[in-house]
Amino acid sequence: MKKILVLCTGNSCRSQIAEGYLRHFGGDDVEVFSAGVETHGVNPRAVATMKEDGIDISGHTSNNLNEYRHLLFDYILTVCDHASEVCPVFPGNAIRVHQNFPDPAKATGSEEDIQASFREVREQVKQFCREWILSIC
């Protein structure tokens, strides 16, 4: 079983979405955690956007990366440039993987525009997670 930690800045959108898809696509072959450099709470729009695609992340919590410093991971996936730049060294030999995604929480405009941004990022994360998990499992 591969143990994966997904990191972003606030553990509110991108890392939560990635955690949901990695669990979905990886099934019993993975154990997935997500955390942030900071904790901003799980974004309700991220929850709603994932629900549209049949993935329930409503039970996820926003966690700080320090909560997982004692665990050994096979992979650490950073999903934003900021998290990649400040990611600390974890014990063990975790392979670091980086894929930057836009932050949908920074979207502006009408409600439709913001929802469209969340859906676009969701699809980008979904595609990456599906392809990446197949390459490691």
* CATH number, residue 36: 3.40.50.2300
Distance, in Å, from the CA atom of 135 to the CA atom of 110, rounded to the nearest integer, reads 38
Which 8-state DSSP code applies to residue 71? S
Question: Is 137 among the catalytic positions?
Answer: no
pTM of this structure: 0.94
Catalytic residue among 13, 80, 129, 137: 80
Question: Is 129 among the catalytic positions?
Answer: no
Catalytic residue among 13, 87, 129, 137: 87
Catalytic residue among 8, 13, 129, 137: 8
Phi and psi at residue 3, to the nearest 5°? -105, 120
Q: By residue range, what is the domain housing residue 76?
A: 2-136
Distance, in Å, from the CA atom of 134 to the CA atom of 113, rounded to the nearest integer, reads 32
* Inter-helix orientation angle 44-52/111-136, to 10°: 70
Question: Is 80 among the catalytic positions?
Answer: yes
Q: How many domains does the chain have?
A: 1
Return per-residue pLDDT of the chain as tens, 137 residues. Answer: 999 999 999 999 999 999 999 999 999 999 999 999 999 999 999 999 999 999 999 999 999 999 998 899 999 999 998 888 876 777 788 999 999 999 999 999 999 999 999 999 999 999 999 999 999 98
